[in-house]
Amino acid sequence: MIVCSNLSQPWVPDLLKGALRYAESRGMTVAITGRDVGNTVYIRAIERAHPFAVLFDSSYIPMEDRRVCDRLQIAYSALSLDGSASQEVDEYRIDDWRTGFIAGQYLMGLGHKRMAVIAGPNSVPCNAARVNGFRSALGREHLALPSRWIRFTDGWMEAGRKAALELLSDPEPIRPTAVFSTSDTQAIGVLSAARQLNIDVPSRLSLLGCDDIRSDEHVDPPLTTFRHPVSQMVSDAFRRMELHGQEFSSSPAAPQSRVSTYEARLIPRGSCATAPSRAGVDEIKAV
């Protein structure tokens, strides 16, 4: 069974794909519910289904949910897509630092030296990790990521648009030639800002997103981004939980929880290109 924090989240179809793939191989069925349908509703759904295992799509698992699973002897684990740490439960997460690092390497490989970052809230661990990884990649090549070219926002599309309008307001010789957005939602906002400023993507500005949401292939140009192996993470989680059930039945000691880390995959599309020829300032020093 899958319990989502919100059934409208863009990763829900991938959660279902992974669960259905595993269930089919084991002759099982899949149930899904969401906390957004109401507290008593989703709790009753767990009790009615009485599955062998529950996967939560958030590292935050309320004590009430834990008690229900413990009372019914249901194995459970957490999928952490925001980088938050869970406690005393198996956790499956993305290596967000490496995502940022690869993003930096990719843009530098295209010849970019003036790069900016638009990120979601700094309080969300995945955003901070992606920014730090990006900064580390640039640092290895002795390139600076100016503090004024790092913008933390609320993570929504309009916030990405407004941040990009500010970042791209300088004349071409000194403005960024590439932007890494820690979410595709914000990256689409950056595309909107570029059109508003008559900056062509990708010939004058390369744009790299993260998350591979469904609309990425349909924006103009299609967005280069990172795809998270959510389906594989889900399949691995249920496989491990089924093993947990066997371990619980053969030993009074609960298996030790662990963290499994996965690497996002770069999906090149049309929003990134080689850096435009430099007409002035070659590098901007950190401020």
Domain boundaries, the chain: 2-89+229-263, 96-227
The per-residue DSSP string of the chain comes to: -EEES-TTSTTHHHHHHHHHHHHHHHT----EEEGGG-HHHHHHHHHHH--SEEEESSS---HHHHHHHHHTT-EEEEEESS----SSS-EEEE-HHHHHHHHHHHHHHTT--SEEEEES-TTSHHHHHHHHHHHHHHHHTT----GGGEEE--SSHHHHHHHHHHHT-S-TTTS-SEEEESSHHHHHHHHHHHHHTT--TTTT-EEE-SS--GGGGGSSSPPBEEE--HHHHHHHHHHHHHHHHHHHHH-SSPPPP-EEEE--EEE--SS--PPPPP-S-------
| Residue stretches of the chain with pLDDT short of 50 | 248-253, 279-287
Structure tokens given for 218 = 């349909």
Output the pLDDT for position 283. 46
Convert the pLDDT of each residue in 37-85 to its tens digit. Answer: 887 899 999 999 999 999 999 999 999 999 999 999 999 999 998 998 8
Best CA proximity match to 119, nearest among 59, 170, 190: 190
Distance CA 134, CA 267 (A): 17
Output the pLDDT for position 245. 66
Q: Domain spanning 96-227: which superfamily?
A: Response regulator (3.40.50.2300)
**Torsion sign, CA atoms 180, 182, 188, 190:** negative
The per-residue DSSP string of 158-178 comes to: HHHHHHHHHHT-S-TTTS-SE
Output the pLDDT for position 231. 93
Output the pLDDT for position 279. 43
> What is the total residue count of the chain?
287
Q: Please check whether the domain covering 2-89+229-263 is classified as CATH 3.40.50.2300.
A: yes
Output the pLDDT for position 188. 95
